Amino acid sequence: MVTALSIAGSDSIGGAGIQADIKAMTALGVHATTVITAVTAQNTCRVDGIHAVPSEFIAAQLRSVLEDADVRAAKTGMLYCAEAVHTVADLWPSHIPLVVDPVLVAGVGDPLYHEDLVAAIRRRLLPIATVVTPNRMEAETLAGIAIDDRDDALEACRILGEKGASVLLKGGHMDGEKVVDIFYSRGEHSFLEYPRLERAGHGGGCTLASYIASHLALGHPLDDSIRLSRMLIQRSIASMFSVGKGERLVDSTAPWRKRLAEAEARLSLERSKEHLPAFRDLPVQSLQVVQAYGCFPTLDDFVFLSGDGDSWHVHAGVPTPDLLHTLQACRRMDSDIQAVASMDLASDSDLPSTKPLSSMTDASSLVSNRDGGLPELIYKKKNDHSGISLMAMGRDAPEALRRLIGWW
């Protein structure tokens, strides 16, 4: 099995550090080996204590792993003091890609380093790093400059990359409607823009660095590893969860949970096929069932059941804007809504005489209305006026289809 290594501290609340790294690597199908540099007593509100692992035992852990496992990539997180940095640098094999996450402060705001750490990272880790992944504060501390604008950020990247390391300067702590990361490599830079989600929670930096190391271990080039990992951390932040009274935890298992959610959605659509015979005698031009999964409606994760007659298949895809907006509007009214069943008719004359359009809710008015209860059925006139679409919502695909055929 592809193997990666995390060299970091232990987080007793399980949201960052070694615990987050193991979950993130496992979620990408990579076996996680570990070297623990410090043990912390912390929760979602504060750090109560730090016990540094002696450098001799850090070295013993590192030797044990490297002499036995085929480590394809590694990441460092909390190293705490210069002695730990020197130990890792002295033993590091130059052929293994190294992602350096220069952890200085916990997600709750408490410091996680000794005063001699910064100089040691500059002198010993940056020259052997494949990529370093600082946030704004970490970049300011390591580069020795204030970062007030994009020019300052680019200068910090240049300083950090002087010894050959690439730099991913994370933009989450910078101002702006979007998050803009800077990827700097060999004197060239690119800007990576992403929608700004709510404030990143506990473990975001650890998880991102572990995603990057995992992709490198899997054989992806650095550029691809950065971009793939940056997309995944968006999903992880979007699905943060609470375990205590303070900071929420970034979901380090998001890639695995996404695959599980997609499998469950596909199974739901397969189950919904038992309701399709009821539509055979209706004047239906086409029928489609869509089920969302994952972090919808923040992310566009959908599977479809479509076809005609006896030929139906489940596939991934992206809904049309009209259908997506309608589904999102219904989701606002009922947080459990995940599916929509939609059938097309040639015209409203095909509707039952007892159920005219006036008895239903127009999708366009629904999208603009954030109040009120979930309507029984929704209709949408096609842009070319050639027909109408009728839509019913449900917590899963079978429920949406039952509502649609039950209304008819």
What per-residue confidence (pLDDT) applies to 4? 98
Q: Is the dihedral of CA 277, 282, 283, 288 positive or negative?
A: negative
Question: CB of 251 within 8 A of CB of 239?
Answer: yes
Q: Which two tokens stand for residue 198?
A: 């709510």
Distance CA 233, CA 171 (A): 13
Question: Per the structure block, which two tokens stand in for 350?
Answer: 């095909």
Q: What is the pLDDT of residue 205?
A: 94
Domain spans of the chain, in order of start: 3-252, 265-407
Quick check: helix, strand or coil at residue 386? Answer: coil
Residue 125: predicted pLDDT:
96
Residue 107 to residue 369: CA distance in whole angstroms? 38
pLDDT in the model for residue 115: 79
> What is the fold, at CATH topology level, of the domain defined by 265-407?
L-fuculose-1-phosphate Aldolase (3.40.225)
- Region label for 298, one of left (φ > 0), alpha (ψ between -120 and 50) or beta (otherwise): alpha
Q: Using CA atoms, how far apart are residues 139 and 170, in angstroms rounded to an integer?
A: 9
Q: Judge: domain 3-252, CATH 3.30.1330.20.
A: no
Q: What is the dihedral of CA 197, 203, 208, 209, to 10 degrees?
A: 160
| Dist CA 193 CA 249 (whole Å) | 23
pLDDT at 74: 98
Phi, psi (rounded to 5 degrees) for 378: -125, 140
The pLDDT, as a whole number, for residue 109 is 59
Q: Are 401 and 270 in contact (CB under 8 A)?
A: no
Q: Which of 159, 144, 152, 206 is nearest to 174 (CA)?
A: 152
Q: Which residues of 197-227 are buried (b: 16+ CB within 10 A; e: fewer)?
A: beebbbbbbbbbbbbbbbbbbbebebeebbb
Supply the pLDDT for residue 180.
92
pLDDT in tens, the chain (408 residues): 999 999 999 999 999 999 999 999 999 999 999 999 999 999 999 999 999 999 999 999 999 999 999 999 999 999 999 999 999 999 999 999 999 999 988 665 566 677 789 999 999 999 999 999 999 999 999 999 999 999 999 999 999 999 899 999 998 878 778 889 999 999 999 999 988 886 668 999 999 999 999 999 999 999 999 999 998 998 898 888 999 999 999 999 988 888 888 898 899 998 888 888 888 878 888 888 999 887 655 556 889 998 766 678 888 888 877 778 888 888 777 778 889 998 888 887 878 877 777 777 877 777 655 556 778 888 888 766 678 888 899 989 999 999 988 887
Q: Would you state the pLDDT for residue 182?
A: 96
Q: What is the pLDDT of residue 321?
A: 79
b or e along 139-171 (b: 16 or more beta carbons within 10 Å of the residue's beta carbon)? bbbbbeeebeeeebbbebbebbbeeebbbbbbb
153's tokens:
């950020």
The answer to whether the beta carbons of residues 211 and 195 sit under 8 Å apart is no
Neighbour count for residue 335 (Cβ, 10 Å): 8
* The pLDDT of residue 55: 96
* Of the candidates 201, 191, 205, 262, the residue with the CA atom closest to the CA atom of residue 237: 201
What pLDDT was estimated at residue 106?
A: 66
Report the distance separating Cα 226 and Cα 233, nearest Å. Answer: 11
pLDDT value of residue 399: 92
pLDDT computed for residue 211 by the predictor = 97
> Would the CA dihedral through 243, 248, 253, 258 be positive or negative?
positive
pLDDT of 332 reads 77
- C-alpha 120/C-alpha 37 separation (Å) is 15
Any idea what DSSP says for residue 64?
H
pLDDT given at position 95: 97
